[in-house]
């Protein structure tokens, strides 16, 4: 039986945690994405065209939006858990009658909210650089929500595993960042050599970004249904692992 008593309170607490430092947790990622757009868009606009009739800046914007969603959803749940461990206030959650489902919904739900807020902020700022198009908007919503949920759950796993901030940074720098940058944010994977093209198809982040981009332009490197199957399966697997770790109290209960 799924018990969600207290999940709403934990969710609100996590929302307030990142909102109270919104300049750092929301404003800074938006600025970083704009810097990427200014640099890559200025250098490559007019020199690279991935889809017919789509300029490079227009192609780049959805990738930057989705990259921001994924990175910030991961950062929210992972940093919150590690911070609670380091400061010692995790004990207040451990003594509460929260089920593992309530933990999951509270942490991952807040991560989804932060990821989508940052993604919307990036879109609203970058939309001035290229007029947006919404060929199939349902795909935009589906992949944004699934991607944020998966990375929120993955952040929960990383936060449970890590005991200090340098371990968390290692997880992000050696796993999350490479998978994000090698997923087609700045390019089409079809421009890669055959070996790296096949390797990209093993990266679930590629399917998130490709499916998300499909919603804007109506075209993509692979079928959106294939992307949906891969991302949906990855979300279920990561969520099941996170729930199992929470249920057993991995590294948070003696």
Q: Where are the beta strands (DSSP E) in the chain?
A: none
Spell 171-206 as b/e; 16+ CB within 10 A means b: bbeeebeeebebbbbbbbbeeeeeeeeeebeebbbb
Task: Give the residue-averaged pLDDT of 153-177.
Answer: 92
Mean pLDDT value across the chain = 90
In this prediction, residue 44 carries a pLDDT of 64
Tokens 């804007």 -> residue: 216
Where is pLDDT greater, at 39 or 103? 103
Contacts of residue 50, defined as CB under 8 A and 6 or more positions apart, other chains included, come to 56, 59, 187, 188, 191
Where is pLDDT greater, at 44 or 84? 84
Percent share of the chain, pLDDT over 70: 95
pLDDT tens digit string along 216-253? 999 888 999 999 999 999 999 999 999 999 999 999 98
Q: Is the pLDDT score of 74 beyond 60?
A: yes
Where is pLDDT greater, at 71 or 42? 71
């Amino acid at each position: 039986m799924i018990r969600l008593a207290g999940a709403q309170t934990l969710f609100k607490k996590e929302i307030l945690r990142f909102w109270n430092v919104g300049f750092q947790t929301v404003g800074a990622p938006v600025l970083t994405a704009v810097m990427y757009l200014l640099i890559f868009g200025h250098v490559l606009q007019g020199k690279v065209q991935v889809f017919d009739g789509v300029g490079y800046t227009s192609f780049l914007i959805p990738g930057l939006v989705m990259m921001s969603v994924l990175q910030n959803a991961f950062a929210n749940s992972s940093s919150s858990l590690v911070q609670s461990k380091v400061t010692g206030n995790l004990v207040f959650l451990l003594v509460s009658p929260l089920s593992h489902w309530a933990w999951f919904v509270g942490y991952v739900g807040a991560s989804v909210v932060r990821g989508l807020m940052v993604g919307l902020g990036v879109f609203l700022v970058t939309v001035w650089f290229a007029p947006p198009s919404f060929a199939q908007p349902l795909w935009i919503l589906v992949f944004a929500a699934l991607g944020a949920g998966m990375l929120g759950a993955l952040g929960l796993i990383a936060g449970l595993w890590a005991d200090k901030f340098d371990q968390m940074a290692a997880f992000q720098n050696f796993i999350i960042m490479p998978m994000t940058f090698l997923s087609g944010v700045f390019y089409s994977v079809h421009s890669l050599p055959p070996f790296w093209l096949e390797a990209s198809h093993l990266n679930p982040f590629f399917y998130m970004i490709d499916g998300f981009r499909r919603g804007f332009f109506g075209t993509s490197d692979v079928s959106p249904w294939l992307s949906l199957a891969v991302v949906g399966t990855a979300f279920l697997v990561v969520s099941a692992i996170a729930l199992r770790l929470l249920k057993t109290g991995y590294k948070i209960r003696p």
